[in-house]
Amino acid sequence: MSVSVDICWKSFNKNREELCGDKVEVLKTEDSSIIILADGMGSGVKANILATLTSKILGTMFREGAAIDACVETIARTLPICKEREVAYATFSILQIFRDGEAYLVEYDNPKCVFIRNKEIINYPYQERVIEGKKIREYRFHVELNDCFVLMSDGAIWAGEEETMNYNWEWDDMAAYTLKCTNETLSAARLAAMLSQVCYDLYGQKPGDDTTVAVTRVIRRQVVNIFTGPPSRKEDDERVVHDFMKQEGKKVICGGTSANVASRVLKREIVTLVKHADPKIPPMATMEGLDLVTEGVLTIGSALDLLHRYENDDFDEAFFDTLDAENGAAKLARLLIEECTDLNLFVGKALNPAHQNSNLPFDLSVRMNLVEQLKDCAERMGKHVTVKYY
C-alpha cells in the first residue's frame, strides 16, 4: 500500500515573547515525508536560534540519508554553548514515513509522541541508546491507514495559568484529550487547532512556555480537480471537459462560463442554489457528476483569503466554523485544506467577456493571477499540483 500523509502544526509563543522557541520543519523526499520538531532551550531569540539551527541541520542531514548518530553528533558540535548551563541544548522529535508504509520515529528529550491507532493510544516499544552522551529513543514500525501521530514540545505538558506548571495536566491527559479529538475529526488541521487551543486555555491565554503540536495523519491519496475558465479555442471545449472528467477524485468547476461549457459537452443541467449563507459570495450550483460548482473570480479570491490565513498560522477552532459555512469559497478552501493531497488544475485561457466591463474591480489578468496564487499556495501547503492550460 502506498500511503499519503496529512500534516499540520500549530505553535504559540511564550507570553510577551515575539519569537517562538519551537520550530517545525516538514520535508518531502522522493519516497518519504519527514516531520521535525525542535525545541530550543529557554525562550525568545536564543531559543528560536537554537531550534532553527537544530531543525535545519537535522532536516538537511536526514534528507541526504545521514544516520541518526551522525545527526546527533553534528548537533552536539554545532550548537552554541549556554554560558549558564554549559550545554548546547535543543530537544527534538523526528518522524519519517515512507511511501511503502515503513516509518521511523526518533526522540531526544521531547515529550513522547502520542500515537493513536484504531481508537487506542499505543504505547510503542521504543529502543533507547546513548549517542554523544544523549539518550535517544527510537522506534521502527509500519503505519496503517488512519494512524495519528502528535509530536509536541514540553510547553504542551504541564500547561497552567500564571506561568506555573500544572501538575494536574500531564502527558496522559494530553494523550487522552488527543484520543477524544480524533473521534471527532480525521483532519490534521482541525486536530492541531483543537490541541493547541486546549493548551492555550489551560495557560489562561498567557502561555508560560513556547508550545507546539505537530499532527500527522496517515491517509489515502486524495485528488481534487478544478476546471476554471473556458479554453481560448472553442473547438477545445470537449477536450478540456473530457480531460477533466476522466480524472480520479473530486470534481470542481469554478466559473459560470466554465460550467456552461461542461453542461453543453456533458448534456447535463446546471441548477443554481438560490439559498446561500453569505451575500458577499456568489451562489453555488449543482450538476450531475460534480462535487462543487461555483462562480469563478470572486469565489476563488475569497477561498484564497481563507487559505492564506491557514498558511500563515492564523487559524484556530473558530476558523473551522468559517470553513464549514455553506458558501462556495468556504467549501473550496475546506476541500483543499482537509481533503486534498494532489491538485489538478484545468485552466482555460479565453477572454471572458464579463471581464471587459471597466466598472468591475478586476481585469483580464486577475483569473490567471488567482490560478497562479492557488497553485503556489497549495504547493506551500504540501500538495502535489499539476496545471494544464487550454
258-273: average pLDDT:
96
> In angstroms, rounded to a whole number, what is the distance separating the alpha carbons of residues 271 and 67?
58
Indicate the residue type of 248: E
Q: Which grid cell sits at 315? A: 487559524
pLDDT at 226 over 80: yes
Helix segments in 64-146, DSSP class H: 68-78
Q: Which of 56, 61, 52, 48 is nearest to 18 (CA)?
A: 48
Lowest pLDDT segment from 75-79, 95-99, 133-137, 172-176: 75-79
Q: Which residue has the cell 500563515?
A: 312
Which region holds residue 133: left if phi is over 0, alpha if psi is between -120 and 50, else beta?
left
Cross-strand partners of 261: none
Q: State percent of the chain over pLDDT 70.
A: 92
pLDDT for the residue 105: 96
User: Looking at 5-19, 148-162, 181-195, 279-293, which range is the least confident one?
Assistant: 148-162
Rounded distance, CA 203 to CA 158, Å? 9
**Amino acid making up residue 162:** E
pLDDT at residue number 114 = 98
Tell me: the pLDDT tens digits for 2-23? Answer: 789 999 999 999 999 999 999 9
Q: What is the pLDDT of residue 274?
A: 80
pLDDT at 34: 94
Model pLDDT, residue 62: 86
Q: Region 139-152: what's the mean pLDDT?
A: 97
- Residue 306 in this model has a pLDDT that exceeds 90: yes
pLDDT single digits (tens) 29-53: 888 999 999 999 888 998 999 999 9
Between CA 8 and CA 214 the distance in angstroms is 6
Angstrom distance (rounded) from CA 58 to CA 51: 11
Query: Residue holding cell 501538575?
Result: 167
Please determine, for residue 356, whether its predicted confidence score (pLDDT) is greater than 60. Answer: no
Order of strands, sheet of 271-272, starting from the edge strand that comes earlier in the sequence:
271-272, 285-286, 292-294, 250-254, 223-228, 342-347, 384-389
Q: What is the pLDDT of residues 206-221, one digit of tens each?
A: 898 999 999 999 999 9
Average pLDDT on 134-141 reads 92
Domains of the chain, with CATH numbers?
A: 4-219 (3.60.40.10), 223-389 (no CATH)
CA dist 276 and 236 (Å) reads: 33
Cα separation, 101 vs 339, whole angstroms = 20
* pLDDT over 90 at 95, yes or no: yes
Sign, CA torsion 150/151/153/154:
positive
Q: What is the pLDDT of residue 358?
A: 47
Average pLDDT over residues 101-116: 95
Q: Is the pLDDT of residue 86 over 70?
A: no
**Other CB atoms within 10 A of residue 250 CB:** 17
Q: How confident is the model at residue 309 (pLDDT cuts 50, 70, 90)?
A: very high
Give residue 81's pLDDT: 67
| pLDDT for position 301 | 96
pLDDT tier, 266 (very low <50, low <70, confident <90, very high otherwise): very high
Model pLDDT for residues 63-76, shown as the tens digit of each residue: 888 888 898 888 87
Cβ proximity of 366 and 324 under 8 Å: no
The 8-class DSSP code of residue 4 comes to E
Of 110-114, 181-185, 289-293, least confident by mean pLDDT is 181-185
Confidence at residue 158, expressed as pLDDT on a 0 to 100 scale: 79
Predicted confidence band of residue 25 (pLDDT cuts 50, 70, 90) = very high
299 contact partners, CB below 8 Å, separation of at least 6: 254, 281, 282, 328, 329, 332
Going by pLDDT thresholds of 50, 70 and 90, the confidence category of residue 131 is confident
CA distance 59 to 64: 9
DSSP secondary structure of 143-188: --TT-EEEEE-GGGSS--GGG---TTS-HHHHHHHHHHHHTT---H
d(CA 338, CA 181): 16
With CA atoms as reference, report the closest residue to 47 among 124, 141, 153: 153
Q: What mean pLDDT is predicted for residues 175-182?
A: 95
Mean pLDDT rounded to a whole number for the chain: 90
CA 84 from centre of chain: 38
Q: How much is the average pLDDT of 117-132? A: 93
